[in-house]
Amino acid sequence: MALTIRDLSKTYPNGVKALKNLTLSIGNSMFGLVGPNGAGKSSLMRTVATLQDPDSGSITLDGIDVLRQKDEVRRILGYLPQEFGVYPKISALDMLHHLAVMKGMTSSAGRKETVDALLQQTNLWEVRKKALATFSGGMKQRFGIAQALLGNPRLIIVDEPTAGLDPAERNRFLNLLSSLGSDRTVILSTHIVDDVRQLCPRMAIIASGELLLEGAPNDTIAALNGKIWSKVVATDDELRALEKEFHVISTHLVGGQHEVRVYAEASPGNGFRSVDSGLEDVYFLNLSQQSRQQLPN
């Protein structure tokens, strides 16, 4: 099972270039897609989910031309959009049965078995007869994953599934995702970098429609080992000075003071201390490198 995305470009009618010659190969595992808002994550995922067409480029999934054989893709697709609403006054049970029929589960016994299992799995069994409209954000999101898993899809696309969830919900949700097994392609987009580190054997960072990095999270973190330096500064003036002098990749507020993280091959000295690199550093480094490239020239 492999998804090959080649030279994908998309410009929206309002002039926004959502995807710029994006090429990406996604294997048979959980694949994390990170990037800031507006990076083109959702555009990419909608394109793979057959909901929009690129201007150019191709996508193939095990020999299926995703852009043309949409129906074949849809049959093996489980899709959880970034935001979705529900019909008022329809229960989770009814809705899942309906969607199961839509996904080709015509035998009612089999359908019942699957739907019940999913309701159990997503911990919605007790509320299965309640109207979806009364669900909390977390419950709705679990319903979303339940519907995406209907029919054992071989391609699962989940777009920002943890946005708006409280930490407990988020953990539960990530557990659920990780239990999906490894014999399928799962694309998870998020801007929470930690999600990816916890879940995904492979990941990609995209920004402004371009691929910045692709690889295994641990490898990319390892590549930065010893190159990330941290310093705590108290005032904005100091911060400004540091920004001019070093390659600042991120700042965090710690107890009202700025903790500045800097990328450098060797110690920048001056009170900097070496810190363990994290996936977040990889992420911010790539983003800042991209914006540096774009700025001066």
Partner 1 sequence: MALFWEFFTFELKFRFKSLSTYVYFLLWLIFSFLCVASESFGPIGSGNGKILLNSAFANTLDNILAGVFGMIVIAAIFGTSILRDFQRDTYQILFTQPISKFAYLGGRWAGSFLTTVFAFSGMMLGTFLGTFAPWADHTRIAPNHLWIYLQPFLSILVIQIFFLGSVFFAVGALSRKIFIVYLQGVALFVIYLIFITVFSATRSLEHFWSGIFDPIGVVLFNGITRYWTVIEKNTLFFSWSPVLFNGVFLYNRLLWIGVGALSLVSVWALFPMSVEALTARSQGRRAAKAKEQEVADALPVRSVVTARLPRIQQAFTRATTFAQYVSLTRLRLRNIFRDLPFWAIVALLIAFGIASGRLAGHVAEQNVWPVTYLMVQAVEGSALLFLFIVAALYAAELLWRERDAHFDGIHDALPMRESTDWLSRLTAIVIVEFILLAVVMLIGIVMQTSAGYYHYEVLQYFKELYLVTFPQVLTFILLALFVQTVVSNKFVGHAIVIGVFILMPILYSFGWENTLYLIGQVPAYTYSDMNGYGHFVPALFWSIAYWLAISAVLGVASIVLARRGAEDSLRARGRQALRLAPRLAPVAIVFALIAAGAGSWYFYNAHVLNEYLDSKARRDIQADYERNFKQYENLLQPKVTAVDAEINIYPDRRSFDGNIRITLQNKTGQPIPQIHLTDPMRSVTNVKFDRAVHLVSSAPRNIYSIYALDQPLAPGETITLTCDIGHQTRGFRDGNELPEFAYNGTFFDSDYTPYIGYNRNLELDDPRRRREEHLPLLEEMAHRGDPAHSVNNIFPLDSDWITYHTVVSTSPDQIAIAPGYLQREWQANGRRFFEYSMGSTHILDFFSYISARYQIRKETYHGQNGDVALEVDYDPAHTYDVDDMLASSRAGLDYYQRVYSPYQFSQYRIFEFPRYRGFAQSFPNTVPYSEAIGFIERVVKPTDIDFTYFATAHELGHQWWAHQLIGADVEGSNMLAESLAEYSALQVMARKYGRDLMHRYLRHELDGYLQGRSGEIRHEPPLALVQREQYVWYQKGGQILYTLADYIGEDKLNLALHNFLMQYRYANANNQVDARDNTSTSAPIDGPYPDTRMLVDAIRAQTPPELQYLVDDGFNRIVLYDNQAISATSQKTPDGKYKVTLEVQARKVQADGSGAETRVPLADYIEIGVFSGKKDEEKPLYLKKEKFTEEHRTFEILVDQAPTLAGIDPYNKLIDRNADDNMIDVTKQ
Task: Report the run of H or E that residue 175 belongs to, with start and end.
Answer: helix 167-178
| Tokens read off for 285 | 């480094």
Q: Which stretch binds partner 1 (CB under 8 A): 118-126, 227-235, 256-264, 282-290?
A: 118-126
The mark string for 11-50 relative to partner 1 (x by CB under 8 A, - otherwise) is --x--------------------------------x--xx
- Paired with 31 in beta bridges are 187, 202
- Paired with 78 in beta bridges are 156
User: Considering the rule CB under 8 A, would residue 105 count as an interface residue with partner 1?
Assistant: yes
How many chain residues bind partner 1 (CB under 8 A)? 63
The mark string for 60-99 relative to partner 1 (x by CB under 8 A, - otherwise) is --------x--x--xx-x-xxxxxxxxxxxx---xx-xxx
CB atoms within 10 A of CB 136: 12
Return the residue of 136, 218, 270, 274 that touches partner 1, per CB under 8 A: 136
Q: How many residues does the chain have?
A: 297
Q: Which stretch binds partner 1 (CB under 8 A): 20-28, 57-65, 121-129, 280-288?
A: 121-129
Q: Which stretch binds partner 1 (CB under 8 A): 144-152, 188-196, 216-224, 244-252?
A: 144-152
CA 241 to chain centre: 35
Residue nearer to partner 1 on the CB measure, 8 or 212: 8
Return the residue of 15, 37, 63, 107 that touches partner 1, per CB under 8 A: 107
Ramachandran angles phi, psi of 153, nearest 5°: -65, 145
User: Considering the rule CB under 8 A, would residue 170 count as an interface residue with partner 1?
Assistant: no
User: Considering the rule CB under 8 A, would residue 152 count as an interface residue with partner 1?
Assistant: yes
User: Considering the rule CB under 8 A, would residue 51 count as an interface residue with partner 1?
Assistant: yes
**Cα distance from N-terminal residue to C-terminal residue, the chain:** 41
Residue nearer to partner 1 on the CB measure, 121 or 290: 121
Asked if 21 and 9 touch (Cβ cutoff 8 Å), the reply is yes
- Alpha-carbon distance of 29 to 16, in angstroms, equals 31
User: Considering the rule CB under 8 A, would residue 176 count as an interface residue with partner 1?
Assistant: yes
Task: Report the run of H or E that residue 171 belongs to, with start and end.
Answer: helix 167-178
Name the strands in the sheet holding 3-11, side by side, starting at the edge strand that comes first in the sequence.
Answer: 17-26, 3-11, 56-61, 64-65
User: Considering the rule CB under 8 A, would residue 162 count as an interface residue with partner 1?
Assistant: no
